[in-house]
Amino acid sequence: MKQNAPTSVRYDGISYTQPLPVDRKRKRQEPISPTSSKLVLLAESSSDISSHDSLAEFVKQDWFIEQQNQLREIRRVRQIRYRKKQQDYMETMEENNRHLQQEIDKLEERRRAVAAAVPSKKTLWYVAVEYFRLFRYGLRASDLSDRSRRLLASKLLDQSIAIHGSTRFDWDIGYGRVTSVISESDMLTPMLQVLGRLDG
């Protein structure tokens, strides 16, 4: 579009130039000052920082939730494994107990079979004979010195001592064993007859 040149008017030797008419259809473009540019940049920077912080906070929360879920899953798996191990241990112990009980029953049956096949020697007379065989010489006193023993042996040498006494055996027929042994004898009188006074 061709624009008209500005018109000049001269008054008394001075030239005045009139401005061209303004085109109303063209959009007016105003120059942007440096101050307004800085404000725009600062606003955009602040907006970017706020958005970045929000995103970082969201990522952090999401990561924290994911970690909590993983820990819960690990604890759940460990609990399941622990319960499974306890259950397996209990089942193994019960199985071992059953095997042991079966073994005990078998051994008990064998013991009964052997006991029925072999006659028992544990009778009252057998126990009485074994008792007198073991204690034929009595029990040796442990509180005598060697000198006292030699003196006592020299006095009893070639002497005959008759001691009257009794031994009682209580026999339990149900269990086939002796429940008590009661022995009574007068040893002091014949010993004094041979040895004399108690003070030697």
Fill in the amino acid letter for 17: T
In angstroms, rounded to a whole number, what is the distance separating the alpha carbons of residues 21 and 65?
A: 69
Token pair recorded at residue 190:
């014949």
**pLDDT by residue (tens digit) across 102-159?**
989 988 887 777 666 545 566 888 888 888 888 877 666 666 666 777 777 777 777 7
Per-residue confidence (pLDDT) for residue 14, from 0 to 100 = 47
Please provide the size of the chain in residues: 200
* DSSP tag of 185: E
Per-residue confidence (pLDDT) for residue 140, from 0 to 100 = 64
Per-residue confidence (pLDDT) for residue 59, from 0 to 100 = 79
Q: Return the ∠ at Cα 159 (arms to 154 and 162), rounded to 5°.
A: 130
Per-residue confidence (pLDDT) for residue 12, from 0 to 100 = 47
Question: If we measure between CA atoms, which residue out of 169, 160, 150, 161 comes closest to residue 187?
Answer: 161
**Helix ranges (DSSP H) in the chain:** 34-117, 124-134, 146-156, 188-195
Taking the model in full, what pTM does it have? 0.31
State which residues of the chain have pLDDT below 50.
Answer: 1-3, 5-16, 18, 20, 22, 24-27, 29, 32, 118, 198, 200
